[in-house]
Amino acid sequence: MSEQNQKLNLAKVYQFRFAGLTQEKKDATWALVTRWIELKLGNPRSVLDPAAGRGEFIISSQATERWACDLSDQRTSWPTGVTTRFGDIYEINLPENYFDLIFVSNFLEHLATPDDVYNYLMQLRKSLKLGGKLAIMGPNFRYCANEYYDFADHLLPLTHRTIEEHLAAADFQNQLTISRFLPLSFRSQRFSNPWLVKLYLAVPIFWRLFGKQFFIVATRPTD
């Protein structure tokens, strides 16, 4: 590969971004966030994380069946009970009409064009059961415009309204929109303290004060 065609080294980006925040702290925070999400969505039995990264969400999931996908494997090993697939999501073998919940966290903003978002959502739709839920969380440009492009991998500016339109285009039915949910980044020391995370999740007024990420849930229609 020629020098001008090399891709951004995301591993080094994330190492720099999360310097000072241990994996143990991230895991502890995600355990609380994951439990909140799954309780909110009725304790799904089969869950797919199609942009799993290091697997903080899917490892914390209490679902009976847990699947993790990503372009590459970012862990040395995965816990027993987590099925993994690595590679282009359009090429890896995922079951169709299968999952109760697909959870996409902080990924869509990395895509290059609105068409890429549409194609990605349509691909996920194939794997979701009729009546299954797609939950999307990500930075809300409306509330973090000044900081949005401080992240080297952010490409598309997305708001909760943008996501609602994308979901409608992909024939999903919107069920829940929380325009302000989590803070922008886990780099905040405030959001790496489990006790404070638990309090934050329990008191929605904090979301309106500090939340800069949307949380949106849509369903695949049954008819």
pLDDT tens, position by position, 13-70? 767 666 666 777 788 899 999 999 999 999 999 999 999 998 999 999 999 999 999 9
Q: Report the pLDDT value the prediction gives residue 102, as an integer from 0 to 100.
A: 99
First to last CA, the chain: 48
Residue 129 has pLDDT above 80, yes or no: yes
Q: How far apart are CA 205 and CA 219, in angstroms?
A: 26
The greatest distance separating any two alpha carbons of the chain, rounded to the nearest whole angstrom, comes to 51
Chain segment 195-220, per-residue pLDDT in tens: 899 999 999 999 999 999 999 999 99
Question: Is the pTM of the predicted complex or chain greater than 0.75?
Answer: yes
Q: What pLDDT is recorded for position 188? A: 61
- The C-alpha atoms of residue 78 and residue 156 are separated, in whole angstroms, by 31
pLDDT at 187: 60
Q: What per-residue confidence (pLDDT) applies to 24?
A: 78
Give the span between the Cα atoms of 111 and 157, in whole angstroms. 10
Quickly tell me which residue has 């949910």 as its tokens.
181
Q: What is the mean pLDDT of residues 4-14?
A: 71
Instruction: List, in order of start, the domains of the chain with CATH numbers.
Output: 3-219 (3.40.50.150)
The average pLDDT across 101-107 equals 97
Task: Assess contact for 144 and 212: CB atoms under 8 A.
Answer: yes
Query: What are 102's strand-pairing partners?
Result: 48, 134
Query: In whole angstroms, what is the distance from residue 208 CA to residue 170 CA?
Result: 29
> In which band, very low, low, confident or very high, does the pLDDT at 139 lie, cut at 50, 70 and 90?
very high
pLDDT mean over 136-161 = 94
β strands within 87-202, DSSP E? 99-105, 128-139, 173-178
Which residue, 80, 64, 78, 170, is CA-closest to 117?
170
Query: Three-class SS of residue 222?
Result: coil
Per-residue pLDDT, 2 = 52
Query: CA–CA separation, 138 vs 165, rounded Å?
Result: 15
49 forms beta bridges with: 68
Element (H, E) at 26: helix 23-40
Q: Give the tens place of pLDDT for each residue, 163-205.
A: 999 999 999 999 999 999 999 986 666 677 888 999 999 999 9
Return the pLDDT at 180: 98
Average pLDDT estimate for 88-106: 96
Contact between 217 and 41 under an 8 Å Cβ cutoff? The reply is yes
| Residue 87 DSSP label | S
Angstrom CA distances, 88 to 71, 91, 125, 194, 198, stand at 6, 5, 16, 34, 35
8 Å CB contact between 207 and 178:
yes
